[in-house]
Structure formats: C-alpha cells, structure tokens
Amino acid sequence: MTLSSAALAKYIDHALLQPTLTDSEFDAGCELAKRWAVAAVCVKSMDVRRAHARMCDSSVAVCAVVGFPHANAPTKVICHEAALALQDGATEIDAVVNTSRVLSADWEAVSAQVGALNDETLRHGGILKVILETGIIPSRETKVRLCAICRDLKVAFVKTSTGFATQLGPNGSLVVMGATIPDVSLLVEHAGATCRVKASGGIRTLDDALTYIRLGAARLGTTSTEQILLEALADPSTH
C-alpha cells in the first residue's frame, strides 16, 4: 500500500492529551494539525473551546475525550462532559468504556453506558468513538462482545486504546498497552461494516500507520503525527 502524505493525514487524529502539556505546546500542536490537515485534533474536554477557535477555519475536526482515561465517573457525569464538549465546538467524542464493568461481564451496565453516550453524542450532532482499552482485556471473547454491543448500538467507531493504560512487564517495569495487529484485526472483523475502527497507542512510524490501515483501520490516534507524515513525504513510493 502507498499513500501520499496528504491522504495519510486524513486518517490521523493528532492527540494533545498529555497531562503535562503547556498552553504554548497545545497551541503549537493545533497549528501542526492544521498545517498537515489531519482528520481531527484530539483534546481534553477542557481544551475544546481553545482547539475550536484554532480549527474553525480549517477542515480539521475537534475530538474531545471524555471519561478519560479510566471512565471512573458515573455515566450521567460522562454524558454531561460529552454534551459540554459538543456545545463548545467538538464534533467527535472519544469515550472510555468502563473496564471494571467489562471485566466483570456486567453487559447490562456496559450497554447502558455506551448507549447513553451514543444517544447524547448523536443528539448534539456528533459521532462517538468507544475506547475499549483492548490491551488490558485478556479475553478475545470479551473484545468480540464489546464489538457486538457497539455495532448493535450503531456507534460510529470502536477504538483500541487510550495510550495511558499500563501493565507490569516481565522485568517489573510498566509497559504502556496500545494497539496491536491481533486486536486491530479482531475489531475490524467483528465491529461490522458500519462501525469503523480507530487504532491508537504506540503508533510512531510510517510502517506502524500503514500496517494498521492495511488491516482496515479508518483512523489512527497518535502524538507522532509530524514524524509519520515527514517520513511519508520523504518516501518516493508515496508520491
């Protein structure tokens, strides 16, 4: 597969979610997203107005994360956060499913959370991406069940990861759990034709990006946007 840097940019949600990000770094990130004309800039809900002011004269959508990164608040609180973000100028919402309920197989609670968030997002004219946090869900069957729930509720996207989940590695150090080839393949297979897939977490190179696009991902979440697109620009096969 070959894609021009401009075509590749349309797959990318440029993430500005680091807790240490300063205002000047945030503004620079917005300008980077605008300069490359990516699909969306993905920001904390508190930053939606600032992002919208910078993106309103461009094709770049504003995507707000809600319930991020652990979905620990009650559903009605997360829905209110989503509503505020959409009123402030976001057109896309990335919301984390409650992993505790997922791992407890409380499918009624999971469906209620996802359904309420999707209804609230659609009510304001937005689209919802549900973050499954696939790296910390050990069961394939559980991931398939989540895909079925999102598909049946007509959610726009399922997304692999927040990029902030960690597990202990073999040497005792923390390992960030992100997108993987098996997980993206599984989501593409089971989410259905109307529920697209966003791969996110650990996507840092052109090869990473093209691998997930080949598998069927329709969006990529990354902080390495410029590195990936400069790599594409320098690759003769993409021209």
Mean pLDDT of 1-8: 89
- d(C-alpha 18, C-alpha 165), whole Å: 13
Span 179-195, pLDDT tens digits:
999 999 999 999 988 89
The three-state secondary structure class of 7 is: helix
Site of tokens 């070959």: 2
Catalytic residue, from 129, 159, 183, 208: name it: 159
Query: What's the CATH code of the domain at 173?
Result: 3.20.20.70
Per the annotation, the verdict on 198 as an active-site residue is yes
Q: What percent of the chain has pLDDT over 90?
A: 88
Catalytic residue, from 94, 129, 143, 183: name it: 94
Q: What is the pTM of this model?
A: 0.95
Catalytic residue, from 47, 129, 198, 208: name it: 198
Number of independent structural domains in the chain? 1
Q: Is residue 1 part of a domain?
A: no
1-5, 134-138, 206-210: which has the minimum mean pLDDT? Answer: 1-5
Per the annotation, the verdict on 106 as an active-site residue is no
Q: Is residue 2 part of a domain?
A: no
Compute φ and ψ for 132, nearest 5 degrees.
Answer: -90, -20
The C-alpha angle with vertex 119 and arms to 114 and 124, in degrees rounded to 5, equals 130
Site of tokens 């094709």: 59
Q: Is residue 35 part of a domain?
A: yes
Compute φ and ψ for 112, nearest 5 degrees.
Answer: -65, -40
- DSSP codes, 46-63: GGHHHHHHHHTTSSPEEE
Span 151-177, pLDDT tens digits:
999 999 999 999 888 777 778 777 778
Per the annotation, the verdict on 159 as an active-site residue is yes
DSSP 238: G
Q: What is the pLDDT of residue 238?
A: 61
